[in-house]
Amino acid sequence: MAAKIILASASPFRKALLANAGIEFTAIPADVDERALEAPLEGTGATPEDVASILAEAKAINVSESRPGALVIGCDQTLSLGDRVFHKPRDKEDARRHLLDLSGKTHQLNSAVVLVRDGETLWRDVSIARLTMRKLDPAFIGRHLASVGDKALASVGAYQIEGEGIQLFEKIDGDYFTIVGLPLLPLLAKLRELGAIDG
């Protein structure tokens, strides 16, 4: 019998990706303080990709501790522009600043996925997408944020590519799953290799 699969995330987007792929799983959000985990990494030379991987692993281990035998999927995503790492905007004004800072530039989404069983990390992957935002008029940013409402506060870049956020971009290099925050193709390959799903 295949291992029970748990997604250590509350993200409706990640849950939908796994469900649409036909994976049977239970979603149990991890109880970790991401900013507290990130703080000691500052100044250590940890890359945005490292940070995403470390946070994904912490989430998976957190849930794994109380679910013996289960295969736990941990995920995290960072958005980086050069050396700067963006976090989810605190409010609409913060979202507006995010979009102004990203306007006309190419940023990177670093999506980490980790598999853990009984507190042991079995596998990790970081997939990267590069997104080039078109030069945005400040008045347009205001109208866009008014249109999308609080959804702008739900993701690190203050946009959802699967919704009106697509209008902000002129070029995208990377797959949809990486952008949404769950690198599905490498994950499915590993789940098949582990015998956790039919392959």
Using CB atoms within 10 Å of the CB of residue 197, give its burial: 0 to 12 exposed, 13 to 18 middle, 19+ buried: buried
**Distance separating alpha carbons of residues 114 and 32, to the nearest angstrom:** 15
Q: Which of 33, 76, 83, 118 is catalytic?
A: 76
- The DSSP 8-state label assigned to residue 103 in this structure reads T
Residues 195 and 83: their CA atoms lie apart, in Å, by 39
Residue with tokens 């392959």: 199
Residues 101, 81: Cα–Cα separation, whole Å? 9
Which positions ≥6 away from 106 have C-beta within 8 Å? 130, 131, 132, 133, 171
Supply the DSSP symbol for 25: -
Rounded to 5 degrees, what angle do the CA atoms 60, 66, 69 make? 80
* 101 carries an active-site annotation: no
**Residue 140: count of CB within 10 angstroms of its CB:** 15
Which structure tokens are listed for 2? Answer: 């295949």
Question: Active-site positions?
Answer: 76
